[in-house]
């Protein structure tokens, strides 16, 4: 009769017990981690939290009707400021500079204008002295008269010289005023208040009378034009 040792009989029982223990442990682990995984998955499916919402009280407001139309805005004073006196430019206002009426926009070297003014002054002084001298001479000869030994022709000649000297003096005074004006114009001034929008010349360049120095635009005195339909005009 075949006998089975007791040790062999116990081994299958031990194997079965091990399998049951492993199954129970797996079930425990699954039971522990499965709720956490389900909670994480549910939270991810919900997305980010909703944004905060601010509520304001509604207020009644009257809105005026409006309509659009193509148009343009033009300055009533838009000028190219030119030089009136020749010479090298010493300085010119920068683009964007805001100026008042009478402010300096550019300066031209006044050396030549000063020399012309001084020469005209000298001419006036010389001719004024000559005219005064001839006037006194005529008065003296007229006082003596023909009885004093002076001929009428001599006196007439002195009168003509005196009158010519007076005319020369008048022309010299006009030339002096022109020279003084040319000297004043070496400082180019704004004819109206506005903004420098362009500079046509730089320091060191030579300009002739009539050469544009800067462009000046009045930004306050504006004219607005628009192209509107008849229907739009009727509703205004």
- Sequential pLDDT tens for the chain (236 residues): 444 444 444 444 444 444 444 444 444 444 444 555 555 555 555 656 777 877 878 777 777 667 777 877 777 889 999 999 999 999 999 999 999 999 999 999 999 999 999 999 999 999 999 999 999 999 888 887 656 566 788 888 999 999 999 999 999 999 999 999 999 999 999 999 999 999 999 999 999 999 999 999 998 887 777 777 776 666 66
pLDDT of res. 148:
58
pLDDT of res. 51:
74
pLDDT of res. 174:
98
Residues 190 and 105 occupy one common structural domain:
yes
Residues 163 and 117 occupy one common structural domain:
yes
Residues 194 and 95 occupy one common structural domain:
yes
pLDDT of res. 147:
64
pTM for this prediction: 0.61
Structural domain includes residue 92 = yes
Distance CA 76, CA 87 (A): 31
pLDDT of res. 33:
42
Residue 178: domain span = 110-185
Structural domain includes residue 178 = yes
pLDDT of res. 75:
79
pLDDT of res. 210:
95
Residue of 65, 3, 102 lying closest to 231 (CA atoms):
65
Residues 208 and 118 occupy one common structural domain:
no
pLDDT of res. 44:
54
Distance CA 38, CA 124 (A): 113
Structural domain includes residue 47 = no
| CATH (domain of 161) | 1.10.287
Strand 212-217's sheet: what is its strand order? 78-82, 212-217, 194-199, 98-99
Query: 3-state secondary structure string, 170-218?
Result: HHHHHHHHHHHHHHHCCEEECCCCEEEEEECCCCCCEECCCCEEEEEEC
Residues 131 and 81 occupy one common structural domain:
no
Residues 115 and 91 occupy one common structural domain:
no
pLDDT of res. 233:
64
pLDDT of res. 175:
98
Tally of domains in the chain: 2
């Amino acid at each position: 009769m075949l006998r089975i040792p007791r040790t062999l009989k116990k081994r299958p029982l031990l194997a079965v017990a091990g399998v049951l223990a492993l199954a129970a442990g797996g079930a425990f682990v699954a039971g522990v981690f499965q709720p956490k995984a389900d909670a994480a998955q549910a939270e991810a499916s919900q997305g980010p939290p909703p944004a905060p919402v601010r509520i304001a009280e509604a207020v009644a407001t009257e809105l005026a009707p409006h309509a659009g139309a193509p148009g343009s805005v033009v300055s009533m004073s838009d000028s190219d400021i030119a030089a009136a006196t020749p010479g090298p430019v010493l300085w010119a206002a920068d683009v964007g500079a805001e100026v008042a009426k009478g402010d300096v926009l550019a300066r031209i070297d006044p050396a030549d204008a000063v020399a012309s003014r001084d020469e005209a002054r000298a001419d006036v002084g010389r001719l004024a002295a000559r005219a005064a001298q001839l006037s006194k001479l005529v008065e003296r000869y007229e006082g003596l008269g023909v009885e004093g030994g002076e001929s009428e022709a001599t006196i007439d000649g002195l009168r003509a010289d005196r009158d010519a000297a007076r005319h020369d003096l008048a022309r010299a005074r006009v030339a002096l005023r022109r020279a003084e004006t040319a000297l004043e114009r070496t400082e180019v001034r704004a004819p109206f208040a506005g903004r420098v929008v362009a500079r046509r010349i730089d320091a060191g360049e030579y300009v002739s009378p009539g050469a544009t120095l800067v462009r000046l635009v009045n930004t306050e005195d504006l004219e607005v034009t628009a192209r509107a339909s008849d229907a739009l005009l009727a509703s205004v």
